[in-house]
Copies of this chain bind each other. A is one copy, B any other.
Amino acid sequence: MTSPAPTRRRDAARTRQLLLEAARARFADDGYAATTVRDIADDAGVNVALISRYFRSKEGLFEACLTTAVDEMRRAAGSATLAEVPQRIAEQAAGIDSGGIPQRLVLLLRSSGDARADEIRIGILRSYADNLATLAGWTGDDDDLLLRAQIAIAASLGIAMLRSKTRLEPLASAGAQELVDPLSDLISGLLERRA
């Protein structure tokens, strides 16, 4: 049993990961500007200076949070049929994975003022909307359908935002179970072409 190093006292990769997780939570909950590097370092249980060492700057750390969140979202996306979409959105918005997934969604709406972060953000949004529009039968020449898909994405983000930032009941405490039916009606009302 020469396991490589389950918990080394000094482990750069682990420290990086701890910082990333703490930062994602803080950025998603409080926003970029309201979050201090000392908050993040304390949450992660590491020294403040290591943020600059591993991520160059606070902005670099935010960008790293955004790109890893986007990567994970892309990986988790997979293909689906239009009928399955509401279930997916409900799961993500409800945060069936405790704490992880809705954080990524809310993070998408957080702005650091950095231009590159904005590009990352808008890139994933566009790709999600294009995907959804394609599932609804979009062939690239129907701007109205794309608009409708983007509205559906906006609705999902709005739900995630409201759930994480307010205690508006029953929305704030609704589980994926209770969200999927309304979301199905929302999506189908928005995207199913009536002949």
Contact = CB atoms under 8 A, between A and B. Distances in A.
Interface of A: 30-34, 109, 111, 113, 118, 121-122, 125-126, 129, 143-144, 146-148, 150-151, 153-159, 161-162, 165-168, 170-171, 174, 178-179, 181-183, 185-190
A113 B34 contact: yes
A161 B158 contact: yes
- Which of A32, A129, A155 has the largest number of chain B CB atoms within 10 A? A155
Given A166-B122, A189-B188, A182 B129 contact: no
26 contacts: A30-B111, A31-B34, A31-B111, A109-B161, A109-B165, A118-B166, A125-B162, A143-B170, A147-B170, A147-B174, A147-B178, A148-B182, A150-B170, A150-B171, A151-B186, A153-B162, A154-B155, A154-B158, A154-B171, A155-B186, A157-B161, A158-B158, A185-B190, A186-B189, A187-B189, A189-B190
B154 A162 contact: yes
Contact of A189 (B167, B170, B189): B189
A112 to B, nearest CB: 9
A171 B186 contact: no
A117 to B, nearest CB: 12
